[in-house]
Amino acid sequence: MSTQTSPEGAPWWQFGHVWLVVAGPLVVVLASFFTFYLAYAGMDALVTEADFPPGGQRVQSQPSNLAPAMQARTHAATGVVALPSKP
């Protein structure tokens, strides 16, 4: 005959299912701290007014190689085909 110890006398940390219940939220908390570290370490610098030239930001004209793409976008949005300009 084997003798078994009563589980009622054992402390709570000696039960395996307790650690399964505690491990889930603990992993989530640790992952949130790691995510905060990644976000804080990789954050971009703030943009201030000193970063722009006086009088506002200059807008550069679009290069000519984007003309077919712009015509296709306009055609897709409006359904109107733009006629080529005559020289």
**pLDDT per residue as tens digits for the range 35-63:** 999 999 988 888 777 777 666 656 566 56
Q: What is the pLDDT of residue 40?
A: 92
Place of tokens 């409006």: 78
Other beta carbons less than 10 A from residue 37's beta carbon? 10
How far apart, in whole angstroms, are the C-alpha atoms of residue 81 and residue 87?
A: 19
DSSP codes joined into one string, 36-75: HHHHHHTPPPPP-GGGS-TTSPPPPPPPGGGHHHHHHHHH
Q: What is the pLDDT of residue 1?
A: 52
More confident residue, 82 or 21: 21
Identify the band that residue 8 occupies on the pLDDT scale cut at 50, 70 and 90: confident
How far apart, in whole angstroms, are the C-alpha atoms of residue 57 and residue 60?
A: 9
